[in-house]
Amino acid sequence: MDIKQLKFLVALDETRHFGQAAARCHVTQPTLSMRLRQLEDELGLELVRRGQRFEGFSAEGERILAWARSLLAAQDGLLAEAAACRGHLVGTLRLGVVPLASFDPMRLISLFAERHPGLRFQLHALSSDQILEGLVRNQLDLGLSYLDRLDREHFASLELAEARMGLLYDQRHFHFVSSSLRWEQLANLPLGLLSTGMHFRQSIDHSFRARGLSPQVRLEADAVHHLTQAVSAGLCCSVMPLPADGAPTDGHLRLLPIEEAHTLAPQGLIMRRSAPASPLAQACFEEAREWLADA
């Protein structure tokens, strides 16, 4: 057994495809399949269910996969710890971010990149539940998500500024005279919103219901860029987070503040408390704490 076999196993779980897993690991598909069969022979277990294509992992394979992730995380942690002992942070910081996060993750990434030029970054757009699962499974180092259902015993968090909302519209198709809007005015507009069930959408629905209003939802999407495309096409307006530094303009798009509009729960930076500890996550989390305290 070697580290490469464990990397092959994890890559297969993340891609769910033998060819894509092989390409990610820079080997041929026959090599990847052979090495995984060698791992199965050594462990005396069938890990991968095979047919014409990848069909998933066996129950035993899922258990072994969890150990593989822990061992790879331990290897990454060892290398990061060695670099930290030399006064450097190196490696890849994996950050999960909820759609329409009111806090711009680039503010944190810019901070970390300035202090640690050797760091690389991976951003993953995920739901709040997926972020917590990714932290538990050590697929993420940090999460930018909502704090309302957070288990404080297992996760540490830093609360960020309260999320406020604004109406995103294209001035070629819509025109507003006032400098802010009420929810009553939004109820008569064609709206494009995130899919039902997403946390940001739940906050919007709650704001309408609390006022006895029924919005005209013309389009639903689970990707933010689809919403902005629909707004640019004049199909609808959309409700978006209002940045702390004001309402920016982007070409023909405008973001107009909505009165008494905020999410149901605050957002924050989240880190797993349990082992294996990530030196990258711990160092960046503490730097974020100091930065927020000085802000």
Measure the CA–CA gap between 94 and 142, rounded to whole angstroms: 7
* 73-82 pLDDT per residue, tens: 778 777 777 7
Lowest pLDDT segment from 131-135, 157-161, 284-288: 157-161
Which single residue is written with the structure tokens 């090495």?
35
Measure the CA–CA gap between 229 and 227, rounded to whole angstroms: 5
Rg value, the chain, Cα: 23
Quickly state the pLDDT bin for 245 (edges 50, 70, 90). low
Which single residue is written with the structure tokens 């819509």?
174
Q: Is 181 helix (H, G, I), strand (E, B) or coil?
A: strand
Mean confidence (pLDDT) of the chain? 88
Q: Which two tokens stand for residue 88?
A: 């450097």
Q: Is 36 helix (H, G, I), strand (E, B) or coil?
A: helix
Q: Are 77 and 276 in contact (CB under 8 A)?
A: yes
Percent share of the chain, pLDDT over 70: 94
For residue 247, what pLDDT is reported?
52
For residue 87, what pLDDT is reported?
66
Is 244's pLDDT higher than 70? no
Is 291's pLDDT higher than 70? yes
Q: What is the DSSP letter of 39?
A: H
* Averaged pLDDT for residues 90-94: 84
Percent share of the chain, pLDDT over 90: 49
The better pLDDT of the pair 116, 206 is held by 206
* 34-68 pLDDT per residue, tens: 999 999 999 999 999 987 788 889 999 999 998 99
Our CA dihedral for 159, 161, 167, 170, rounded to 10 degrees, sits at -100
* Averaged pLDDT for residues 133-162: 87
For residue 263, what pLDDT is reported?
81
Q: Which two tokens stand for residue 208?
A: 């309408």
For residue 265, what pLDDT is reported?
80
For residue 136, what pLDDT is reported?
87
Is 249's pLDDT higher than 70? no
For residue 115, what pLDDT is reported?
85
For residue 32, what pLDDT is reported?
94
Is 256's pLDDT higher than 60? yes
For residue 237, what pLDDT is reported?
96
Measure the CA–CA gap between 157 and 55, rounded to whole angstroms: 37
For residue 105, what pLDDT is reported?
86
Q: Cβ neighbours of residue 29 under 8 Å, at least 6 residues apart?
A: 18, 19, 22
Measure the CA–CA gap between 98 and 200, rounded to whole angstroms: 9
* 204-237 pLDDT per residue, tens: 999 999 999 999 999 999 888 899 999 999 999 9
Other Cβ atoms within 10 Å of 271 Cβ, number: 21
